[in-house]
Amino acid sequence: MSQKFKSYALGKWTAGEGQGQVVLHAVTGEELGQVTSSGLDFQAMLEYARDTGGPVLRGMTFHERALLLKDLAKYLMNRKEEFYGLSTATGATRADSWVDIEGGIATFFAYSGIGRREFPNETFQLESDVSPLSKSGSFIGRHICTPLEGTAVHINAFNFPCWGMLEKLATSFLAGLPAIVKPASQTCYLTEKMVAVMLESGLLPEGALQLICGSVGDLFEHLESQDVVTFTGSASTGRKLKSHPNIIEKAIRFNMEADSLNCIILGPDVTAEMDEFTIFIKEVVREMTTKAGQKCTAIRRTIVPEKMTQTVIDALKQRLSTVRIGHPDAEGVRMGSLAGMDQLREVKERVAELRQDTELVYGENEEFEILDADRTKGAFYEPTLLYCAEPLLTDSVHGIEAFGPVNTVMPYSDLDEAVKLAAKGGGSLVGSVVTADDAVARRLVLGIAPYHGRVLVLNSESAPESTGHGSPMPTLVHGGPGRAGGGEEMGGARGVLHYMQRTALQGSPSTLSAITGEWTKGAAQPQDKVHPFRKYFNELEIGETLVTHRRTITEADIVNFAALSGDWFYAHVDEVAVQESPVFERRVAHGYFILSAAAGLFVDPAPGPVLANYGLENLRFTQPVYIGDTIQARLTCKTKTPKAPREGEQPQGVVSWAVEVTNQQDETVAVYTILTLVAQKTA
């Protein structure tokens, strides 16, 4: 009996019971093993994640979880060759596998940075909005985002057994949610290996990650309202799962990213002699042949001006003829096989359906050359190019997807028609526009944006460093409307918040400040005899305030600052011109001088715990300061964020200070936040 691929459940590896689905090598047809989840207790797995992994992850701060992702990424990168060795069996070339393996690991690195840059060193996220709910300001509201107390169930497609898992884990782990991963059976052996390596690292808390190799059984019956399901795969399967009675009854969050008929549009300004034409042809062929076209983001519809139709077809045919197909390990091979014989049969069936409304212009050659492989055993399929003469009158090319190296060229008469053709796909993950005319780019982008989750605009300037049509990026949304599923993955901080609950808080400024750990205007501002810059990070209290002495602004101040800075703007130095100003009554002090003068009021100059100025945020000048006005500053400890210590470095933290500068009539003239590095007191 062949080996069985194992699941990881309840803290241990387990092979399913009885006979399982046979998994074959995509290139050689040899049996790799069997996969079944029979015998797994799915309810217990969910409870184990919620009760064991969840509390530990939620108890960590965003920064701690971000560092966990970084350490996992480094560990996986050191073991990457083990994954490449297995990836060949999926039919992927080294270049294909790089996207899946190292691209996935890079997502961990990216979200580690996002976690430390865009989230606080806290267990929750406090949104910046503060809503006054009463006249006097004693009753306010703001929003807080806290981790859900359930489990993330990640269901992934066969085409990206590593990246598909890692891009979901990056966001759910950073949010503090444990995960159960369910890869497609056809390529689960690669996911199994990567999960095993992550567990071997010893970095993950117990219960944070479990794996199901095989079907999900009755798992959906045991989901609760705090759980989240994410799905990547076919639109039909996604709709079936999304409509599960328990998902609907308990309003369980379901994020769907489905295969779509993505398009690329060639602008009417582009001729065959332009760089943009070469860029266009390369992009179409790359998307047809990378992963043998088995990408949810691959280009399926190539929309071109009528006058360029034959030129485009000829160029695509010529470039496709240079693509060498065969065993992924063979020298010179650019395209491997499909993931299995089931995929091969399905692609052939879909192409046969498309052929009823299109003309075959390249492909369907049963004797195409295959390097170092047996065509009777491997799931090889030649790139196939179709042409649809009347795409506005034909529905099949906008509704039938052959999930392989298959593309349909279709003409348009004007930009409005190009937009209509793009929209007929019913919603896509990504569309691309290739044009050298920015006005054309604007019309096309604004026309197709409502139907796409992402739009790539290519020209000779952007193309050299572009990541390409089919490459979702961690900082950008991956998803799309309609047929594409209506979901969003990644997208920087947005992807993390999908696993958190946004709650509106209402109360007094002091109470909300105590709850959130962030001082809010209107909250208590206790003062101390000791200057706050004389206190270590550990000694500072949120809300602690320094009210400074006063300073009267003189004409000499303004003239000296103008000379020092080189800022001789008329409103500061020209008495005649300023009298004609619709904004100022008379000469006004430089805004940046007011900042400098305020710093002179609140800074304690002697060496101490404050190590450096770390930055300034959210500056607003709210009233002009004239010659003879007297200013005063109020400095309040707003937030405290400990920094992860580096080796040999004194422990530090970042303190944000709310600064309000007022004039002699107690009117606010400037507000901003300054950040300082402050030493932590050690025993």
**Per-residue three-class SS string for 151-183:** CEEEECCCCCCCHHHHHHHHHHHHHCCCEEEEC
Q: Residue 127 phi/psi, 5° resolution?
A: -80, 150
Which has the closest alpha carbon to 446: 428, 419, 424? 419
**Matching residue, tokens 């003879």:** 628
**Matching residue, tokens 């999304």:** 242
Which has the closest alpha carbon to 264: 242, 287, 234? 287
CA 546 remoteness from chain centre: 41
Distance CA 669, CA 593 (A): 12
Distance CA 675, CA 615 (A): 5
Distance CA 225, CA 244 (A): 13
Q: Which of 102, 167, 192, 257 is catalytic?
A: 257
- Is 296 a catalytic site residue? yes
The answer to whether the beta carbons of residues 221 and 246 sit under 8 Å apart is yes
**Cβ burial 277-313 (10 Å sphere, 16+ → b, else e):** bbbbbebbbbbbbbbbbbbbbbbbbbbbbeebbebbb
Distance CA 265, CA 444 (A): 9
Query: What's the DSSP call for residue 650?
Result: P
Distance CA 148, CA 199 (A): 23
Distance CA 637, CA 542 (A): 5
At position 420, the amino acid (one-letter code) is: K
Q: Which of 296, 382, 401, 544 is catalytic?
A: 296
- Is 257 a catalytic site residue? yes
Residues with Cβ within 8 Å of residue 509, at least 6 apart in sequence: 137, 138, 140, 520, 521, 522, 523
Which has the closest alpha carbon to 61: 127, 125, 152? 125
Catalytic residues: 257, 296
